[in-house]
């Protein structure tokens, strides 16, 4: 019997218990899934960073921890978490992110906001073809690659930027400081899908925003700290950046008095770009626990030094 502890807020248990049990059965695993195992009897932990568990020290038998979240910035620095940590790379979450990103890129590309706001005017303005609209995706992890590939398939010339060199079919890949400049200066639309680390904070700041072409648009479904808010507001106010669609913020919910709410060049969405889906994420966790039992390498293992 494999003892698995579910450590998340109670509403998560209500939605995950049945899909997890089904996924364990499909994987051929004999699992006792509970929220109240004795810590020293636990083999694996399924974990959400906003849940009740913060001290992993008593879990002396635990082989690995499996996060329900894609981001691990809230837990990766926990000194008591010494066992392997796997982040969530969920096919359902990825599909949701691809749909949200492509939807907003197309919204900008086709100038849909203008059409909606000018329903009483007949002013034909034919958009360019996708092949004439360069898009840059900052971050080439699982989500970034999926979005970049989807946009490329729609005909957009896509540049992908990452910390380390990558080769991705159909994508112009850039990396490092010089590559970031190249990725920004060629972009009419920028999508941010970087992790939240000390190295990525304020990736878009006064200097890098100035490197974008005048009239560029920004889409951030990644992490709030990737953008220097004051610098973005300045760039919007002076007209260098035409518009920003923001789904994530440094403080959530976004405070009611934040300038983004009332800014005419900002679209706020309430962190809805992508959500972990219970059925597909349960299958990912079951596969990783199967791997743990078989002494096979884990999927989506977090690199503690990199922070993701």
- Cα 284 to Cα 269: distance, rounded to the nearest angstrom: 28
- Cα 308 to Cα 73: distance, rounded to the nearest angstrom: 7
- Cα 139 to Cα 192: distance, rounded to the nearest angstrom: 7
- Cα 146 to Cα 127: distance, rounded to the nearest angstrom: 25
Of the residues 37, 104, 133, 223, which is catalytic? 223
- Give the residue ranges of DSSP H helices in 110-227: 112-117, 142-153, 176-185, 206-211
Is 37 an active-site residue? no
Token pair 């932990």: residue: 45
Of the residues 107, 263, 271, 304, which is catalytic? 271
- Cα 304 to Cα 33: distance, rounded to the nearest angstrom: 27
Name the phi and psi angles at 165, rounded to 5. Answer: -60, 140
Handedness of CA 44, 197, 91, 302 (dihedral sign): negative
Is 271 an active-site residue? yes
Token pair 């248990």: residue: 13
Structure tokens at 171: 């994508």
Residues with a catalytic annotation lie at 223, 271
């Amino acid at each position: 019997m494999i003892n698995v502890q579910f450590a998340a807020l109670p509403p998560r248990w209500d939605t995950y218990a049945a899909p997890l049990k089904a996924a364990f059965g499909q994987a051929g695993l004999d699992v006792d899934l509970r929220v109240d195992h004795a810590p020293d009897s636990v083999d694996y932990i399924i974990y959400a960073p906003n849940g009740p568990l913060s001290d992993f020290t008593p879990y002396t038998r635990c082989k690995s921890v499996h996060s329900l979240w894609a981001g691990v910035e809230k837990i990766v620095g926990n000194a008591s978490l010494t066992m392997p940590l796997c982040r969530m790379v969920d096919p359902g979450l990825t599909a949701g992110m691809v749909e949200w990103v492509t939807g907003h890129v197309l919204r900008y590309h086709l100038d849909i906001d203008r059409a909606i706001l000018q329903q009483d005017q007949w002013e034909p303005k034919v958009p360019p073809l996708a092949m004439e609209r360069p898009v840059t995706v900052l971050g080439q992890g699982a989500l970034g690659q999926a979005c970049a590939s989807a946009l490329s398939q729609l005909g957009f010339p896509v540049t992908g930027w990452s910390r380390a060199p990558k080769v991705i079919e159909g994508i112009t890949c850039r990396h490092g400081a010089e590559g970031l400049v190249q990725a920004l200066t060629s972009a009419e639309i920028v999508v941010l899908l970087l992790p939240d680390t000390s190295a990525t904070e304020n990736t878009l700041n006064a200097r890098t925003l100035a490197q974008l072409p005048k009239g560029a648009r920004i889409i951030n479904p990644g992490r709030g700290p990737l953008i220097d808010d004051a610098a973005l507001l300045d760039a919007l106010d002076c007209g260098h950046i035409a518009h920003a669609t923001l789904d994530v913020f440094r403080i959530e919910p976004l405070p009611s008095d934040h300038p983004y709410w009332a800014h005419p060049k900002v679209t706020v969405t309430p962190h809805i770009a992508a959500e972990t889906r219970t059925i597909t994420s349960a299958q990912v966790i079951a596969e990783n626990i199967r791997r743990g039992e078989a002494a096979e390498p884990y999927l989506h293992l977090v690199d503690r030094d990199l922070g993701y």
